Amino acid sequence: MIKKVMSLISIFFAISVITFFLVKLSPGDPAENYLRASHVSITAETLSETRKNLGLNKPLYVQYFSWLGNLVRGDFGTSYTKKIPVIDLVAEAFVPTFQLGIFSFIILIVVAPFLGILSAIKQNTVFDYIIQLFSYICVSIPTFWLGYILIIFFSVSLRILPVSGRGDWKNLVLPCITLVTPLIAQTTFFIRKNILEEMESSHVENAIIRGVSKKNVIINHLLKNTAIPIITVLSSNIMYLLTGSVIIEEIFAWPGIGKLFATAVRTGDFPLIQILLLFFGIMSIVVNEVTQILVKFMDPRLKIKEKMKKEAKHGGVA
């Protein structure tokens, strides 16, 4: 447990270093951005005073440890443009992004496994060819283009779904479809490939020879043995749903993390950019840890291997 905690702390430290220095090395002067957002004329005197007030006149390593110390104390900084704590902006924007992400993920875990399994079971049939063609088309379509096409068709022409904004469930339909479509295609290909590889394994062939029904072969052999890679690829898609929605939220004016990040980059709101990048990094750590726990729970062999390693290590010490 101590090793795990130390590992997480070191990862967080590495992410904070990368986040801070990447933002600092980006073009633009934070002092100018602050003055511009405050509607104050930019002169040599105001720039000098602002750099002093923001601590930008100190060496970079001093600025970093000051920023890190503030993070540890719960002070994440104040937005240049909004003049309010950035943590409040992130907390407010996280709810719409989480809502969009969770509904998209539900669509993904329902549609992609169904299409992937059906395509593998019906290999080299009309169903398989149709699903593969559908997947090739979906994975090749740029998301921004798909979003505008859906708006033109369902909102402008048919007028059955709203164009943009966050309201009732109808506002979720077009953003969710746009966001999840390429993921469905990629995951369908992945599941189909894994099931076909599993079908060629010796234990599946032996089960078929023994007369086991196709239904039992699929449930007891194919799905169980392909569950772990499927869970892994689905969990990796969670980060895309949370962080890859920048373009989608811009297209549909969805007030989430992605739109907030795009606005922060446009306005040069450095404190907000830093906290959002740090947030994305921490979310990656959380998703990765949860995935590892799920994989260990699904595959008891990993627990046995860890136990054997510990026993061997203690035996060696003894």
pLDDT of the residue at 318: 47
Q: Pick from 19, 2, 107: which is nearest to 283 by CA?
A: 19
Backbone CA torsion sign across 286, 292, 296, 297: positive
Q: What is the CA radius of gyration of the chain?
A: 25
Distance CA 61, CA 66 (A): 9
Provide the b/e sequence for 2-19 (b: ≥16 CB within 10 Å): eeeeeeeeeebeebbeeb
Backbone CA torsion sign across 126, 127, 128, 131: positive
Instruction: Classify residue 153 by its DSSP letter.
Output: I
Helix (H, G, I), strand (E, B) or coil at 85: strand
Instruction: Find tokens 């992605």 and name the residue.
Output: 258
List the Cα angle 135/138/140 in 5-degree steps. Answer: 105
Residue-by-residue pLDDT tens, the chain, 318 positions: 777 778 878 888 888 888 888 888 777 778 888 888 778 888 888 888 888 888 888 888 888 888 888 888 888 888 888 888 999 999 898 888 888 888 888 998 889 888 888 888 888 889 989 999 988 998 888 888 888 999 999 888 888 888 877 878 888 899 999 989 988 998 898 888 888 887 777 777 777 777 776 667 776 667 766 777 777 777 778 777 776 677 888 888 888 888 888 888 888 888 888 898 888 888 888 888 877 777 777 666 655 555 666 556 555 544
Provide CB contacts within 8 A for 42, sequence distance 6+.
32, 35, 36
Distance CA 311, CA 307 (A): 6
pLDDT of the residue at 304: 59
Q: Which structure tokens are listed for 208?
A: 């078929």
Instruction: Find tokens 């875990």 and name the residue.
Output: 109
Provide the b/e sequence for 175-194 (b: ≥16 CB within 10 Å): bbbbbbbbbbbbbbbbbbeb
pLDDT of the residue at 129: 92
CB 134 within 8 A of CB 185: yes
